[in-house]
Homo-oligomer: A and B are copies of this chain.
């Protein structure tokens, strides 16, 4: 036990992420695996950290595509250090702060509206395009230009 590499089942068990999801992540280039002679995946233990980062990032509200970009910015030659991971986490922190701030604003506005009961589209600060709070939703939103968006 405790060998150098992990099978997909082991990585799945340890990370709590379904094997099918891990294969999906690999297709998207988020994680990598060596192959045995029989074409089975063998994961380096450092991949555990990548998977952890992926799941945490998703909780922050980052798309897999953006997570991939972030992971691509890790040093390619050497194994990432704690500092490398910390730098990535820090960039998410700003997003998280912004999300928390906007939700707080929404709550305050909602409180105001609970007071007045208006829910008026024009009057209310609540319904304010250009503020574009939550572009978290899924789905095809090709109509929205989304040019004035937040930080890169």
Contacts and interface: CB of A to CB of B under 8 A. Distances in A.
Contact of A114 (B15, B93, B118): B93
Which of A51, A52, A111, A138 counts the most B-chain CB atoms under 10 A from its CB? A52
Would you call the interface of chain A mostly helix, strand, loop, or mixed?
A: helix
> Assembly of this chain: how many copies?
2
Interface string A113-140: 1111111110010110100011011110
Contact of A90 (B90, B97, B114): B114
A62 to B, nearest CB: 11
Interface in A95-124: 96-97, 99-100, 103-104, 106-107, 110-111, 113-121, 124
Interface string A53-94: 101101111000000000000000000011101100110110
Interface of A: 14-16, 18, 48-49, 51-53, 55-56, 58-61, 81-83, 85-86, 89-90, 92-93, 96-97, 99-100, 103-104, 106-107, 110-111, 113-121, 124, 126-127, 129, 133-134, 136-139, 143
